[in-house]
Amino acid sequence: MASLEERVAQLEATVANLNDHIAIRQVIASYGPTVDTADCTERALKLADLWTQDGVYDIGGFKRHTGRADVASAFEGMHFEMIPEGCAHFMGLPIVQVDGDAATAISYSAVFRPETDGEHYYPWRISCNLWTFARVDGRWQIAARVNRLMRGDKDTIDMLRVIDTIKAEAQPK
Amino acid sequence: MASLEERVAQLEATVANLNDHIAIRQVIASYGPTVDTADCTERALKLADLWTQDGVYDIGGFKRHTGRADVASAFEGMHFEMIPEGCAHFMGLPIVQVDGDAATAISYSAVFRPETDGEHYYPWRISCNLWTFARVDGRWQIAARVNRLMRGDKDTIDMLRVIDTIKAEAQPK
Amino acid sequence: MASLEERVAQLEATVANLNDHIAIRQVIASYGPTVDTADCTERALKLADLWTQDGVYDIGGFKRHTGRADVASAFEGMHFEMIPEGCAHFMGLPIVQVDGDAATAISYSAVFRPETDGEHYYPWRISCNLWTFARVDGRWQIAARVNRLMRGDKDTIDMLRVIDTIKAEAQPK
């Protein structure tokens, strides 16, 4: 039978893993309000701080950005103009796998915008996201986010099939 | 090196925080099925029980309600009539910050309603929500929920920028 | 005052419960990417592995399936054809109640599909789900999922009122 010392050490490992699970969900969730208030370069740079220094944001239908300054530049222009019109970046329930100081997640995201007549909203972009995270200086940051529109492209379906390897590991012990 | 006693005390604090994180997500999630079954005064009062005795529900485009009876009154009439037509209150992934017996959260919410031709649905309201919670008698309750439509209003964008102060604290230790 | 031994035993129970809460959210979340990549019988069977051997999937507007092979058969034909067009199964924030090796959850789900003109998306199905789970061989599996479109049907509203009994228990101790 395990000693009290061993049981406490086991608890510490399990609780650290649970903390990581919650923390990564917080990072994903915080993307929404951070992007939906990014209407200038200063705010876009704040948004890019969610990424690691050399983090990647590969945006389906747009382009691949590398490093915080380049990630921030993705929002110059079109995105800044969307803020005063209203837009909302919903993040769906993620599946998260934590492995030490790295983590992987899959989630959907939806961007809603107001109809032009000012009544109601429409789903503008419906995407899947493959996220990798790194714990840097004690804070979970986005190492890479690959975002793809759900339009049935073979590459996108293949990417989503990462779910096969995540599921098996995704139930914390 | 920490004694076993100190390590157990640390675990107790961390685990209590994790419990609070899950509990607050449960309160937010339970708003949906509770409001979508509120078709009479009795059910509206049950819904209002999610709030503290003097809790606030400030509904974008409608009005500010204070106290459970007043919160319940927000659903009289128009909302009751929506239930037999079908409506669904989706709650997005929240960012939660717990501080003792108080907590703050930001999340999006979406209300979907069936199209009038009976086929498919449309997003009727897409909102952001700034929540504050209080632990009263051992149960997390809504102290205030400020709900605002995502239409690009400056006040709404300013409210969402609370994310700047929440993010820093949002990764449980 | 509790002994260190008693405090460690209490922590073990609480942490096991938190693990179950996260694990069940992972199962619900993994439905999305698994169904949205199910374009053939082999993949449909993989999807059905989320269920217990004799699990039930009762799909609103369609039919009730029992057992993994029958659950997999629900996706033959129409669903397979939707994959190359693009479809996304979003899972809303669930309310979860764990009771030993069984669990119950309520959540909403949304299926988005691209508009036929290739621009934007529309919410095709907006449903509520009453889930029961069983821990079998150490893995949480779906014992039953009852899915109902949110169209105001009395039976659906009655089903959602299970929320009354879940809420009281839903805040882990």
Query: Domain coordinates of chain A in residue numbers?
Result: 4-169
A50 Cα distance to chain centroid? 9
d(CA A47, CA B137): 38
Q: What is the pTM of this model?
A: 0.97
Q: What does the pLDDT read at residue C167?
A: 76
**Segment holding A157, helix H or strand E:** helix A154-160
At C173, list the tokens. Answer: 């101790």
Q: What does the pLDDT read at residue A117?
A: 82
Identify the CA nearest to B107 among candidates B7, B29, B16.
B29
Q: What does the pLDDT read at residue C169?
A: 66
Q: pLDDT per position in chain B (173 positions), as tens?
A: 799 999 999 999 999 999 999 999 999 999 999 999 999 999 999 999 999 999 999 998 889 999 999 999 999 989 999 999 999 999 999 999 999 999 999 999 999 999 988 789 999 999 999 999 999 999 999 999 999 999 999 999 999 999 999 876 677 65
Instruction: List, in sequence order, the alpha helices (H) in chain B.
Output: 4-35, 41-48, 68-73, 78-82, 154-160, 163-169
C128 closest CB neighbour out of B88, B94, B118 = B88
Cβ of C173 and B19 within 8 Å? Answer: yes
Q: What does the pLDDT read at residue B169?
A: 66
Q: What does the pLDDT read at residue C148?
A: 97
Q: What does the pLDDT read at residue A1?
A: 76
Those residues whose C-beta lies under 8 Å from the C-beta of residue A104, and which sit 6 or more positions away, are: A96, A97, A130, A131, A132, A133, A162, A166
ipTM strictly over 0.85? yes
Q: What does the pLDDT read at residue A62?
A: 85
B19 closest CB neighbour out of C18, C151, C160 = C18
- Segment C95-152, tens digit of pLDDT: 999 999 999 999 999 999 999 887 899 999 999 999 999 999 999 999 999 999 999 9
Q: pLDDT per position in chain A (173 positions), as tens?
A: 799 999 999 999 999 999 999 999 999 999 999 999 999 999 999 999 999 999 999 998 889 999 999 999 999 989 999 999 999 999 999 999 999 999 999 999 999 999 988 789 999 999 999 999 999 999 999 999 999 999 999 999 999 999 999 876 677 75
B172 closest CB neighbour out of A11, A22, A33 = A22
Q: Which residues of C touch B122 (CB under 8 A)?
A: 122-123
DSSP A54-68: EEEEEETTS-EEESH
Cβ of C18 and B15 within 8 Å? Answer: yes
* Neighbours, chain B (3 or more CB pairs < 8 A): A, C
Could you tell me which residue, C66 or C118, shows the higher pLDDT?
C66
CATH 3.40.190.10, applies to A4-169: no
pLDDT, average across residues C165-172: 75
Q: What does the pLDDT read at residue A116?
A: 85
Those residues whose C-beta lies under 8 Å from the C-beta of residue A1, and which sit 6 or more positions away, are: none
Residue with tokens 């893993």: A17
d(CA B53, CA B67): 6
Q: How far C121 CA sits from the closest chain A CA (Å)? A: 5
d(CA A160, CA C123): 21
d(CA C74, CA A11): 42
Cα–Cα distance list, C74 to B60, C15, C51, C69, C101 (Å): 41, 37, 13, 9, 27
| CB contact residues (below 8 A), chain B span 104-123, against chain C | 112, 114, 118, 120-123
Q: Which amino acid does the sequence have at C168?
A: A
* Percent with pLDDT over 70 in chain C: 97
Cβ of C86 and A123 within 8 Å? Answer: no
